[in-house]
């Protein structure tokens, strides 16, 4: 699996061109991309990057990738990230690594999105898959009850025995649903209409290309 992630990181880093503003995703696959990008920067590639998490920003800085602040950016040219699950319609579940709010903000501001995943993450439907929701700490118990009354299994993301706190100072409730998601936009909007829900880990309708890394070191692309 590590070999596939390294291959994916290398593949994505070859797509980056001089003078681009690059959005850096988060997670183990995105880390492979950041390291490959750093190798290209050391060979003379001129880019600036903005990261979706403290961990990614630290890794980029450690590897001499120049960081730019959001106030100095009019558009992100290309955003590269992993995902937890994807389907052929380029719908995705993200956020098992807890960075999905910042990831979605960067992805939404990007002209082009490259999602790098190993082929095991391509699935037919999201039935029974955990869907992460970032939830305001205030009233989190109410939000959890509302989700349960809607028929979803709802669990706080934990950090040992404590409730996990995100970089945005919120918590995460992972929900599980018993039906397939027929209309992801409707479902997403239904979740976002709950007052305490700040964002969901459902990504869709984005200018994305999914690169599937395979065991035989080749790639499939969903355009
Ligand atoms: C973090 C994410 C990650 O992209 C996702 O969890 C995939 O991570 P990994 O590459 O480690 O499997 O959404 O919020």
Averaged over 127-143, what is the pLDDT?
97
**Predicted pLDDT of residue 1:** 65
Q: What DSSP line would sit under 178-199, residue for residue?
A: SS--S-HHHHHHHHHTSTTEEE
**Which of 83, 121, 168, 208 to mutate to test ligand 1, by most ligand atoms within 8 A of the CB atom?**
83
- Would you state the structure tokens that stand for residue 149, as one six-digit string? 């009354």
Asked whether residue 179 carries a pLDDT value surpassing 90, the answer given is no
pLDDT, tens only, 2-15: 999 999 999 999 99
Q: Is the CB of 27 within 6 Å of ligand 1?
A: yes
d(CA 13, CA 25): 13
Quote the ligand 1 centre to 83 CA distance (angstroms).
5
**Predicted pLDDT of residue 207:** 86
Quote the ligand 1 centre to 215 CA distance (angstroms).
19
For the sheet with 202-203, list strands across it. Answer: 85-86, 92-93, 202-203
Indicate if 141 belongs to the active site: no
Averaged over 185-201, what is the pLDDT?
98
d(CA 138, CA 76): 33
The model's pTM: 0.96
């Amino acid at each position: 699996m590590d070999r596939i992630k390294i291959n994916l990181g290398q593949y994505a880093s070859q797509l980056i061109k001089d003078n681009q503003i690059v959005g850096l995703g988060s997670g183990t696959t995105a880390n492979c991309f950041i390291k490959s990008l750093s190798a290209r920067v050391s060979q003379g590639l001129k880019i600036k990057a903005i990261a979706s998490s403290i961990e990614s920003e630290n890794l980029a800085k450690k590897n001499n990738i120049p960081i730019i602040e959001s106030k100095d950016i009019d558009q992100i040219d290309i955003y590269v990230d992993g995902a937890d699950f994807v389907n052929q319609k380029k719908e995705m579940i993200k956020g098992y690594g807890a960075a999905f709010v910042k990831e979605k903000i960067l992805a939404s501001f990007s002209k082009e999105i490259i999602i790098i995943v190993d082929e095991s993450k391509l699935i037919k439907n999201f039935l029974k898959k955990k869907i992460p929701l970032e939830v305001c700490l205030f009233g989190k118990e109410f939000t959890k009850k509302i989700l349960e009354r809607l028929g979803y299994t709802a669990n706080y993301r934990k950090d040992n025995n404590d409730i996990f706190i995100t970089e945005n100072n919120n918590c995460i409730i992972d929900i599980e649903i018993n039906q397939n998601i027929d209309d992801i936009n409707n479902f997403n909007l239904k979740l976002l209409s709950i007052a305490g829900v700040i964002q969901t880990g459902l990504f869709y309708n984005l200018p994305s290309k999914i690169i599937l890394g395979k065991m035989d070191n080749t790639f499939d692309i969903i355009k």
